[in-house]
Amino acid sequence: MLPMGTAAVNSSVMMTPQGLWQVWPDGRFVTTTAPSLRHEQLLEYLQQLAFLYPDNIDLEEVGKSFQGRSIQLLKMGVGDQNILFWSQMHGDEASATPALLDIANFLLANGDHPVTRSILETYTLLMIPMLNPDGAEVFQRENAQGIDINRDAVNLATPEGRVLMQTRDRFEPMLGLNLHDQNRKTTVGNTGCLATTAVLPVSGDAQNILTRGRLRSKRACAAIIEAHSPFIPGGIARYDEGWNPLAFGDNITARGTPVVLIESGGLPAGYEATDLTRLSFVALMTVLKGLAEDDLATYDPQTYENLPENHTDAWSDVVVRGGYILQPGHTEAFRADLAFSYLHNSRQVIEAGSKSRNPSQTFIIGDASLHGAGVSVNAHGKVLIPAFEVGVKGLSAKRWMNQKSLVRLAQLGVGTIFWQVDDAEHGAALKYAGALDVRGLPRIVVQANPDCFPQLVLTGSPPRPQSSTLAATLQSLGVSNPQDILALQSLWVGATHPKARPARLRKDQPAFFLMVSAGPDGQVDINTSQLVSVWLDGHEIVLNGSTETIDNQIL
């Protein structure tokens, strides 16, 4: 690997935030996407670093996790002042973990640069890249005991928590960098802008006393704000400053090591998931540079004080505004917005690749007027109804139930297919359904001996409707005499089967819905209301394109 940044940016600008941002993509040391980085891979990367720089890097096992995984401390630099970094104490908060190894490689690969040389001569850097390897392995917040490590600073019931506190007490760092990920739906105050970064100079007491160390933390936060502002303008917030007597940042600050908390949040449209790691790299390098140059004296703490505070659960990927909702079992629509987001930052979605369903989750049904959005959809004069549910029987349905027929069903508003098979056919049906479980197609639920089943059972691929009215759509799906709004009830299992959970639009459920035109006060008329759009798991389906067009959209 080439030294990071040597070929990408002129040496005179390499250490600026813009230069650091530019060199990272081609020069990063860890190429695994942060959520997918397992403990075993991390150990391999650490060994590679130690092999590349045997005289400059010291690896030490400072403890083991509850399940016996090694917790590694990377030490580098020869200065008499220590700086402690720790990441992934919450196993599903991985964005900054690769950035620590990227920084180690960057500093040593560019060791002749005056800035990097000053950092390594002035400080000893102590990095715990993955404090919670058990949680990281299954991508969960807590450790294998089920304990939130960041609420264990007093009891120290977790081996991981003991490792962190023992490391603090052993080295007595002059600064700590506590690296986390926050709720992806957090906004900067009430601006509606995503809080991609949140920072906090952690207090060591309930009175928020401004010590000399905490003043340094505020200057470090100001450095991060100035470094990130060109890349995420308006996307930086202040984390909650409340004193938490059980948290590590608060307790470590109280022990004499001022802590800076950095939270990676949601990314606006147009950014890559890896940009959270990229931003962490830029932020941490900027802080180190500022410390080495003048102990961050050129950064104004007021820059931090001027930030709006985090506003949690105030943003979604998509908000459908200004329409009505008609739930199964009712004939009158009510005025409501619908907000949902995609779970695109989970390890499962990232590893599934571009064909994955990229599951959605509904967050608001009601008034979303104060809710920020990546995309706002105008639903004035429209009604949202749950996507339709239909049944299919027997493994022989494989003859016609393929991607082409599922595209047609998607265009007709079918969101879920219940597939009834014999017990002996269950495994084969599950395998076949799994191959069709991709973004933009109806989901297939395989059932053996179901307690309830849709009234509408399909025996083949439906024909193209003669028009875009609801009546024509229902007729293509096989609804006989679709002349009344009550005919819609046969398209939802829950409307006619008391044992089933109604297929209503619900908070915390995936976003499967149709948008249809409506009259005054959300009135729906089967014969005149038009099918305007279909959203399957939050993805809008092309209604009038050929199956080939939809194929391109899906894949």
Domain parsing of the chain, residue ranges: 54-311, 316-554
Q: Where are the alpha helices (DSSP H) in 92-156?
A: 97-109, 114-122, 133-138
Reduced to 3 states, what is the DSSP secondary structure of residue 158? coil
Residue 270 CB contacts under 8 Å (≥ 6 apart), including other chains = none
pLDDT, residue 353, reads 56
Pairwise CA distance, residues 260 & 287, whole Å: 10
8 Å CB contact between 482 and 474:
yes
The arithmetic mean of pLDDT across residues 149-158, rounded, is 98
8 Å CB contact between 437 and 444:
yes
Query: Quick one: how far is CA 518 from the chain centroid?
Result: 35
8 Å CB contact between 123 and 82:
yes
Using a 10 angstrom Cβ sphere, with 0-12 exposed, 13-18 middle and 19 or more buried, the burial of residue 273 is middle
pLDDT, residue 544, reads 74
**Residue 501 predicted with pLDDT over 80:** no
Structure tokens at 180: 């986390």
Structure tokens at 51: 């092999």
Tens digits of residue pLDDT in 285-335: 999 999 999 999 999 999 999 999 999 989 999 999 999 999 988 889 999
Q: List the one residue out of 260, 316, 311, 338 whose CA is nearest residue 84.
A: 260
pLDDT band for 14, please (50, 70, 90 cuts): confident
Q: Which DSSP helix (H) or strand (E) runs through 198?
A: strand 197-201
Please say whether the dihedral angle defined by the alpha carbons of residues 24, 26, 31 and 33, taken in this order, is positive or negative: positive
Structure tokens at 93: 């908060």
pLDDT, residue 103, reads 98
Residue type, 346: S
pLDDT band for 269, please (50, 70, 90 cuts): confident
pLDDT, residue 547, reads 43
Structure tokens at 53: 């720089």
Of 103-117, 353-367, 426-440, minimum mean pLDDT range: 353-367
Residue 111 CB contacts under 8 Å (≥ 6 apart), including other chains = 56, 117, 120
Please say whether the dihedral angle defined by the alpha carbons of residues 174, 179, 183 and 184, taken in this order, is positive or negative: positive
8 Å CB contact between 177 and 87:
no
Pairwise CA distance, residues 173 & 125, whole Å: 9
Average pLDDT of the chain, as a whole number: 92
Provide the CATH number for the domain formed by 54-311 in this structure.
Answer: 3.40.630.10
The HSE-up count of residue 551 (CA atoms within 13 Å, CB side) is 7
Neighbours of 305 (CB within 10 A): 11
Structure tokens at 514: 């149709």
Residue type, 314: A
Distances, alpha carbon 276 to alpha carbons 54, 57, 452, 535, in Å:
29, 25, 45, 29
pLDDT, residue 495, reads 64
Find the distance separating the first CA and the last CA of the chain, reported in whole Å.
34
Buried b or exposed e, range 49-68, using 16+ CB within 10 angstroms: beeebeebbeeeebbebbee
pLDDT band for 12, please (50, 70, 90 cuts): low
The HSE-up count of residue 456 (CA atoms within 13 Å, CB side) is 25
**Residue 351 predicted with pLDDT over 80:** no
Q: Which DSSP helix (H) or strand (E) runs through 164?
A: helix 159-171
Q: List the one residue out of 413, 441, 406, 386 whose CA is nearest residue 530.
A: 413
Q: Where are the alpha helices (DSSP H) in 319-402?
A: 347-352
**Residue 468 predicted with pLDDT over 50:** yes
Q: List the one residue out of 250, 237, 172 whose CA is nearest residue 205.
A: 250
Residue indicated by tokens 């998607």: 410
Which DSSP state fits 521? G
The pTM for the full model equals: 0.86
8 Å CB contact between 8 and 96:
no
